[in-house]
Amino acid sequence: MTDPTPAAAPIAAVPPSLKAETLVEALPYLQRYAGKTFVVKYGGHAMGEPEAQADFAEDVVLLKAVGINPVVVHGGGPQIGSMLKRLGVESRFVDGLRVTDAETAQIAEMVLAGSINKEIVSWIGRAGGRAVGISGKDAGLVQAEKVGGRDPDPLQGIERKVDLGFVGEPVAVDRRIIDSLSRDGIIPVIAPIGIGADGHTYNINADTMAGAIAAALGAARFFLLTDVAGVLDRDGELLTDLDPAAIKRLREEGTIRGGMIPKLETCVAAVEAGVDAAVVLDGRVPHAMLLEIFTRRGAGTLIRR
């Protein structure tokens, strides 16, 4: 008679990627972060191929499943750029901020709050989570104010302030809608659009929006997922740890440029407002956020006061 029970799989057949040590290594981090709020800024450049989008959604759902409250604030600069191009609308940036006339503000809202926001909600849904997509306009979440003009070429020392149009910065955050959603097991997904006391719609840089929300929530971590390994020095080497004074120096010597300027200004403002730490990391690396949170190795650039 033959034995119907299959022989036990030899130990060597366990996939090498499945290491119990990895899970055990995560234990102190799981204990430390349970019940804490993490704000995740998901940049337009970090939103890669469908596989990468699914990885991102899985990470966020995993955080929620282990008792952390993730709050997603997304960008979509490149996607707004493509839409403006398709519609034949010219666009330019000054110090990483898009000069935004009334038509551009309308298109930015359509792309950010209409299209990208709902896509992220559906990725999270497919990963087994529940998400609600809103913008800063919903439930009075973010009140915005027009930002002041910028000098496009400060090195020339000439005062030529550029009016950025309907570019706003958050001046007040009403966190109640985020708290209600998080309490109900729902992951808030927020588009960087706000409304002014003047009734205008304002296009807000997504980093600035995320930083203001992280500060208002007193987040334990503020992640900024982008398309570089982190903040790089003059030789292109990763800077693993920075504080506000070091960031000021990098800015003055011109090592930080373009979109990295509002990103790091936001990180400094967030940590000075009480966020424990901000981390700039490569959103294109599969599960970069989990590696940063749950392993000793870490990833990206950590910014602390």
Ligand X SMILES: CC(=O)N[C@@H](CCC(=O)OP(=O)(O)O)C(=O)O
Q: Nearest approach, Cβ of 22 to ligand ADP (angstroms)?
A: 28
Residue 123 C-alpha from the chain's centroid: 16
Per partner kind, with CB cut-offs from 5 to 8 A, the member of ligand ADP, ligand X, none near residue 135 is none
Backbone angles phi, psi at 88, to 5 degrees: 70, 30
Identify the residue among 37, 38, 44, 168 touching ligand ADP (CB under 6 A). 44
Smallest separation, CB 261 to ligand X (Å): 11
Give the residue, chosen from 61, 228, 271, 289, that forms a contact with ligand ADP under the rule CB under 6 A.
Answer: 228
Residue closest to ligand X when measured from CB atoms? 75
Structure tokens at 53: 């989008």
Task: Tell me how far, at minimum, the Cβ of 28 lies from ligand X, in Å.
Answer: 32
Which residues in 80-109 contact ligand ADP (CB under 6 A)? 96
Q: Which of residues 183-222 bind ligand ADP (CB under 6 A)?
A: 207
User: In 3D, which of 228, 222, 224 has the Cα closest to residue 280?
Assistant: 224
Percent helix, strand, coil in the chain, to 5, is 40, 20, 35
Question: Quick one: what does residue 182 bind among ligand ADP, ligand X, none, with the CB cut-off 5 to 8 Å set by partner type?
Answer: none
Which DSSP string do the residues of 162-205 spell out, in sequence order?
BP-BSBEEEEEE-THHHHHHHHTT-EEEEESEEEETTS-EEE--
Judged by beta carbon distances under 5 to 8 A according to partner kind, the member of ligand ADP, ligand X, none in contact with residue 255 is: ligand ADP
Structure tokens at 49: 């191929």
Dihedral, CA of residue 15, residue 52, residue 175 and residue 112, to nearest 10: -170
Q: Which does 76 bind (CB under 5 to 8 A by kind): ligand X, ligand ADP, none?
A: ligand X
Cα-based distances in Å from 100 to 30, 52, 245: 42, 30, 31
Candidate segments 15-23, 39-47, 129-137, 176-184, binder of ligand ADP by CB under 6 A:
39-47
State which of residues 33, 38, 39, 43 lies at the interface with ligand X (CB under 6 A). 43
- CB nearest ligand ADP: which residue? 259
